[in-house]
Amino acid sequence: MPKASSLRLGAHMSIAGGLEKAVQRAHDATCDVVQIFTKNNNQWAAKPLTEATIEAWRAALAEYSIGAPIAHASYLINMASPNDELFRKSIEALVVEWQRAEQLQLEGLVVHPGAFTDSSEAEGLEKIVIAVREIIERVQPQHCRLLLENTAGQGSCLGHAISHLGTMFRGIDNTENLGVCFDTCHAFAAGYDLTTDAGYAAMSAEIDSELPAGAIRAVHINDSKKGCGSRVDRHDHIGQGMITLDGFRRVLADPVFNVCPMYLETPKGTDPETGEDLDTNNLNTLRSLAGN
């Protein structure tokens, strides 16, 4: 198990009031790292970033010593869509989001691969590969990787099987611009049992066989309200869901994951008994687990 001080732990933070406010919120919650949306995640359009916004963002990161900044792309994007209009709109939107991430010098841009809806799994995976190849060619990224996120497998969403991510990587030429953001809640909901040694070993073996070494670049470290294999994406506080503290000990001890920055996406608020920030509570739990 690594020392707690060697882990890079943080959370997704609101950009209300400006991007730089997310950094201050991260600092106040004792984060080492931060994830944001660079725009309204439920809208297609976005105002261009101004130089003043970019400078305020960079200054805040330096002031508060927050590292490994990443963004999550819009939930509207669906690179697997069989609808040509939505497919093209998704490509255009992700090009803009990646360009914004480049302007902010983020380390990663997380995106859900997409849902094939009324086509097929194979067709959906092919569409994702086509989309990502075009997007890389157009963005020509210099700083930021596109991080494909594993999913819980709700509906026709692709990426719930690690083999789906492997198919995407094998189909895309410029994988130096790609990575994976691994979500613990999604993996558990998709059927990867982090709570047992055998289940964890099976998941690790699939990662080793399907993904290039070092492909996993970030972790969304979330507990799950629903059971293993439920295919339901409901995040919970660390140790309060179904993954169990032992499950998180396995993740924190795993060199595939513990070298990566880890970001909470758990419910916000304050503890009704102590008044403590819930992100801070979750971070303290993780640091305690890593110290054991």
84 is annotated as contributing to ligand binding: no
Interstrand relation of 67-72 and 262-264 (parallel, antiparallel or unpaired): unpaired
Domains within the chain, CATH numbers bracketed: 4-291 (3.20.20.150)
237 is annotated as contributing to ligand binding: no
Q: How far apart are CA 150 and CA 128, in angstroms?
A: 13
Instruction: Name the burial class of residue 134, with classes exposed (0-12), middle (13-18) and buried (19+) by CB atoms within 10 angstroms of its CB.
Output: middle
Q: What is the pLDDT of residue 174?
A: 84
Q: What is the pLDDT of residue 141?
A: 97
Q: What is the pLDDT of residue 125?
A: 99
233 is annotated as contributing to ligand binding: yes
- The torsion defined by the Cα of 114, 42, 220 and 196, in degrees rounded to 10, comes to -60
Q: How far apart are CA 95 and CA 110, in angstroms?
A: 13
Regions in the chain scoring below 50 on pLDDT = none
Q: What is the pLDDT of residue 173?
A: 83
277 is annotated as contributing to ligand binding: no
SS (H, E, C) 57-120: HHHHHHHHCCEEEEEECCCCCCCCCCCHHHHHHHHHHHHHHHHHHHHCCCCEEEECCEECCCCC
pLDDT by residue (tens digit) across 144-164? 999 999 999 999 999 999 999
235 is annotated as contributing to ligand binding: yes
27 is annotated as contributing to ligand binding: no
Q: What is the pLDDT of residue 175?
A: 92
pLDDT by residue (tens digit) across 180-226? 999 999 999 999 999 999 999 999 999 999 999 999 999 999 999 99
Q: How far apart are CA 144 and CA 282, in angstroms?
A: 27
Which of 21, 2, 37 lies closest to 263, judged by CA? 37
